[in-house]
Amino acid sequence: MHFTYAEEKAFSSKCLCQGDIIARTDGVNNLLEKIHPYYFENSEKYPFFIVLTQTCDLVRRNDGKCNSKYITIAAVRPLETAIERQITQYQYEECEKELKFCNENKKIKIRQFLERLFNNNEPNYFFLRQETSKGLFSDYCAFLHLSVALKSNLNYDTLLKAKIIQLEESFQHKLGYLTGQIYSRIGTQDWDKPSLKSLIDNCFKDHVDEARIWLKDSIHKKAVEKLKECASWNREDFDTIVNDVSFSEKLETKKGKVIEIISNILKEAKVDSASIDKIRRKLSNNSEFSSRIK
């Protein structure tokens, strides 16, 4: 067996694993005919599939089900298809593509691509070395972006019966890493800043500000404290409490400004600091003074 694949003693026939190679059995063809007719009709282009779902999510529980609701599989295609696609990147004119020629100095690029591919360091691909004893009669590549999600409760057994090769554990991890790269942040165009600000502003107006009553922190805390003291509450109670707390805060703010003005006058009159502090406390705690501040 090639070092990419698990030996017979490690092969599991009772559980699917990430990286399992799935053959085109009658069962697989039947499900593809229903959910993905294109793959079904083009069996020569897509002779195998590879399981992308993580092994830990495929382990069956006592009830026979696995944690993942879906099993994702990706198309496996002949190696020459991957190479052909890479070459076309260096054929800039239509005549090069139609007549199948390319600048010779691009060969080094293809060589570098193959080195990455064979070591499974090329994004979007996973190289599968031929293994004739298991039905892999030539070299193949998994095209990781050509994936299909299948319901696990309906298709698990079908895929398991079609399993012909299991990856060695470290290569399962490598496949997981390459798959993760595909679903990492994609470099798409961003909104320009003015448009983004306008979009967010409108979103707040339509969906945020209108959806909630937003209280500033000091009022929110006091309102929560008062509501906790109530045996029950309704919208009318809430409105009353919020209005009372808001009025009280405004009153305290106005009273504080008045006291500050008085303190400054006393300072100008050369009243000592200790006396000023004493007067401030008396004014703050004086109910008649507070009632006069409206």
The arithmetic mean of pLDDT across residues 139-157, rounded, is 93
Residue 2 lies in a domain: no
Residue 256 lies in a domain: yes
Residues 163 and 228 both lie in one domain: no
**pLDDT higher than 90, residue 32:** yes
Give the tokens for residue 45: 């282009």
- Which are the contacts of 135, defined by CB distance < 8 A and separation ≥ 6? 23, 164
Write out the residue range of the structural domain in which residue 216 sits: 193-292
For the chain, the maximum distance between any two Cα atoms, rounded to a whole number of angstroms, is: 104
Beta bridge partners of 51: 73
Residues 248 and 120 both lie in one domain: no
Residues 149 and 52 both lie in one domain: yes
Residue 1 lies in a domain: no
Return the higher-pLDDT residue of 242 and 161.
161
Residue 188 lies in a domain: no
Residues 251 and 123 both lie in one domain: no
Residue 187 lies in a domain: no
Phi, psi of 54, deg, nearest 5: -65, 145
**Could you read off the pLDDT of 98-139 as tens digits, one per residue?**
777 778 778 878 888 888 888 888 889 999 988 999 999 988
> Using 50, 70 and 90 to split pLDDT, how confident is the model at 185?
very low
**Are the C-beta atoms of residues 49 and 22 closer than 8 Å to each other?**
yes
Return the higher-pLDDT residue of 58 and 98.
58
Domains of the chain: total: 2
> Using 50, 70 and 90 to split pLDDT, how confident is the model at 29?
very high
The residue among 156, 182, 208 that closes a domain is: 182
The residue among 147, 182, 217 that closes a domain is: 182
Mean pLDDT of the chain: 82
* Cα of 26 vs its chain's centroid, Å: 35
**What is the rounded distance in angstroms from the CA atom of residue 61 to the CA atom of residue 57?**
10
Letter for the amino acid at 152? S
> Using 50, 70 and 90 to split pLDDT, how confident is the model at 18?
very high
**pLDDT higher than 50, residue 204:** no
**Are the C-beta atoms of residues 168 and 20 closer than 8 Å to each other?**
no
**Of 226, 257, 231, 230, nearest to 243 (Cα)?**
226
Q: Label residues 165-202 b or e (16+ Cβ within 10 Å = b).
A: bbbbeebbebbbebbeeeeeeeeeeeeeeeeeeeeeee
Give the N- to C-terminal CA distance of the chain in Å, as an integer.
90
Q: What is the DSSP letter of 189?
A: P
Residue 38 lies in a domain: yes
> Using 50, 70 and 90 to split pLDDT, how confident is the model at 280?
confident
The residue among 119, 152, 182 that closes a domain is: 182
Residues 34 and 150 both lie in one domain: yes
**Of 111, 139, 106, nearest to 4 (Cα)?**
139
**pLDDT higher than 80, residue 158:** yes
**pLDDT higher than 60, residue 83:** yes
**Of 132, 133, 159, nearest to 25 (Cα)?**
159
Residue 3 lies in a domain: no
Letter for the amino acid at 180? G
**Could you read off the pLDDT of 230-279 as tens digits, one per residue?**
777 677 777 787 777 776 666 566 667 777 888 888 888 888 888 887 88
Residues 109 and 69 both lie in one domain: yes
Query: Residue 152 in 3-state DSSP?
Result: helix
Residues 28 and 66 both lie in one domain: yes
**Are the C-beta atoms of residues 70 and 150 closer than 8 Å to each other?**
yes
Residues 157 and 57 both lie in one domain: yes
**pLDDT higher than 90, residue 207:** no
Residues 116 and 260 both lie in one domain: no
Residue 26 lies in a domain: yes
> Using 50, 70 and 90 to split pLDDT, how confident is the model at 186?
very low
Residues 117 and 161 both lie in one domain: yes
Residues 121 and 29 both lie in one domain: yes
Give the tokens for residue 126: 């996973």
Letter for the amino acid at 207? H
Residues 147 and 276 both lie in one domain: no
pLDDT at 210: 55
